[in-house]
Amino acid sequence: MQNSLSKLIERGVVINEAVWHMTNPKLAIDSFRSVCESLSLVLPNDFERISSVISYEGSNSVQFLQFDAKEDDWNGVIKNNLELRKEFAEYSEGKSDMSHILVLADDDGGSVFMITQDSPEKPTPIIWCDYGDMYWYSIDGKFPHPHDEWPSFTDFFEYLVEQEEKNLEGDRE
């Protein structure tokens, strides 16, 4: 597993250089701590390992929230997660529970979020669904419509890398 994660990170570095062009591709450990403390979440080891080498934020297929942004940054993961928690709690009259959810991307077209666990060793499923379906999940843990799901952040990151590799191959043809 460790070896395959290293190879995936190497592929991500190649994609970063070819497509994402992130000048500062890795995230500081302080960013992880800040998000964990501000949102009372435990982030998984694979997420931390991948993001400490290369940022997934530059992926062309998804407009991700900025993970290393300050708490009051308009596009920052902390601010957006706190606002969504408040909005969903008000709209659902307190029935919504997003305490274990980390929203990674959110716009009118859809949401990508991580279902965090109580230990960094446990895999954290990544869900890509319609925006409104995230609301229903936060209330009863169910989705009213089909959605995409990956068993861990590693699997999701591999999907992003594979999509970019396919795009690069298509550009070469």
SS3 166: helix
More confident: 44 or 54: 44
For the chain, percent of residues with pLDDT exceeding 70: 83
What is the pTM for the complete model shown? 0.87
* 44 vs 22, higher pLDDT: 44
pLDDT of the residue at 119: 96
Q: Could you write out the DSSP letters of every residue in 21-58? A: --SS-S--HHHHHHHHHHHT----HHHHHHHTT--GGG
Average model confidence (pLDDT) across the chain = 85
Tell me how far CA of residue 78 lies from CA of 8, 98, 103, 130, 167, in angstroms.
27, 13, 9, 21, 31
- 62-112 pLDDT per residue, tens: 677 777 656 566 678 898 899 999 999 999 999 999 999 999 988 777 899
Query: Is 3.40.1580.10 the CATH classification of the domain at 2-172?
Result: yes
What is the three-class DSSP state of 137?
helix
b/e per residue, 29-52, with b = 16+ CB within 10 A?
eebbebbbeebebbbbbbbbebbb
Distance CA 13, CA 8 (A): 9
34 pLDDT band, cuts 50/70/90, is confident
Per-residue pLDDT at 1: 52
- Angle 2-15/153-172 helices, nearest 10 degrees? 40
Q: Is 11 exposed, middle or buried (0-12, 13-18, 19+ CB in 10 A)?
A: middle
